Structure 1
Amino acid sequence: MATSDGLGRRVLAYLESARNLVGCGAGAVGLGLHFAGLGGAWWPGVVAGLYGAGALLTPGRDGDPAGRGTCATTTPAPAPPTTPPAEPTAPPARPKPAQPEPAAPKPAADPELDALADFLGSVPLPAAAGVAELVAALRAAEPGPAVRLIVRHRLPVAVDGYLRARTWGPWAGADAPDPERELRAAVAVLAAELG
């Protein structure tokens, strides 16, 4: 009968499995302990326990974690179709939309110029001095040593001179130069150097 054939194959597969062989080896160690006089009256339990421990702790075959062997019934794979499937018709190719041309790369932001512009925006400077226009020209200019010198030193010194002159104006006297005119002249020189 088919049922007994399947059961017989399973029993035979288990008898040949690594789990059964390791369990039998552990059981043989238990028998050896009994013959050495160490098992006492409990030797059948010792043999059975060692067999069970060996069988349970041994991993099964790859893809068969329970160690049942390879006698599981498999379903045959379906036969490939005799006629090839119809190829789907491709839709007509659409013209690709025109890619916009990449914009010209913006010059990298200068953190020192940004910090100086923030500071100058917070200081009361006369609009006629042209400081805002000079900052805009510095942003548009090519980076280089001249721009770096103006940003790091010359413009801050000119603004500092204006602010000091305004602070000390009441004690400077009547013949002191006008701070706004001095700042305007310094900014004009810097703007001329930028070209």
Structure 2
Amino acid sequence: MATSDGPGRQVLTYLESGRNLVGCAGGAIGLGLHFAGLGGAWWPGVVAALYAAGALLTPGPKTDPRPGDPELDALAAYLRTVPLPPAARVDGLLDALRAAGPGPAAGRRIVRDGLPLAVAGYLRARTWQPWAGADDPAPEAELAREVGLLAAQLG
């Protein structure tokens, strides 16, 4: 996860980036000019300027326009492996999350916390269902209720 990367990992990421590599190529050209006798006493400035020009003019990395998609796709892939009741309408919630896009913060909370917790609770309740009392709600009904609440949060 990007937020858990420490400063050391961020430095390594930059060192491996295309911007740094193009900047280094510009700096190498500056060194070549110095060894060819051009640049005079200003050669360190020429090297630095060529590095900076290469690093600043190189386009940045392509970013995903919908940053929540990898998490949503991973969650959907996991949920396909779980035997969920169709009455819970989990697929409908996933479709609504895809349609909402990355904008709403509620969608990110649902993908990261709400839906995984609801499914985990459903799976635990199914495990303990043989020992549940007659008054306990059905796990399927509880999951459907939670999914409904999550859909309402999404708007």
Instruction: Tell me the TM-score range normalised by the shorter chain.
Output: 0.5 to 0.7
2:70 maps to 1:108: no
Superposed displacement of residue 192, structure 1: 1.3
Superposed displacement of residue 148, structure 1: 0.6
2:106 maps to 1:146: yes
Q: 1:128 to 1:116 in 2, by over 3 A?
A: same
Superposed displacement of residue 107, structure 1: 5.6
2:131 maps to 1:171: yes
Q: TM-score, normalised by structure 2?
A: 0.55
Structure 1 partner of 2:143: 183
Task: Provide, for residues 30-66 of structure 1, a one-character-per-residue CA deviation record: whole Å limited to 9, x for no partner.
Answer: xxxxxxxxxxxxxxxxxxxxxxxxxxxxxxxxxxxxx
Distance in 2 between the 1:192 and 1:163 partners?
22
Distance in 2 between the 1:148 and 1:193 partners?
11
Matched position secondary structure for 2:83:
coil
Distance in 2 between the 1:136 and 1:184 partners?
16
Distance in 2 between the 1:115 and 1:146 partners?
18
Q: TM-score, normalised by structure 1?
A: 0.44
Matched position secondary structure for 1:132:
helix
Q: Which runs of 5+ in 2 are unaligned?
A: 1-63
Superposed displacement of residue 127, structure 1: 0.4
2:127 maps to 1:135: no
Structure 1 partner of 2:46: none
Structure 1 partner of 2:120: 160
Q: Name the % identity.
A: 64
Q: Kindly indicate which of the two structures has a greater share of residues assigned to helix.
A: 2
Distance in 2 between the 1:147 and 1:177 partners?
27
Q: Which runs of 5+ in 1 are unaligned?
A: 1-105
Q: Considering only aligned residues, what root-mean-square deviation do their CA atoms show, in Å?
A: 1.6
Q: 1:191 to 1:107 in 2, by over 3 A?
A: farther
**Greater C-alpha radius of gyration:** 1
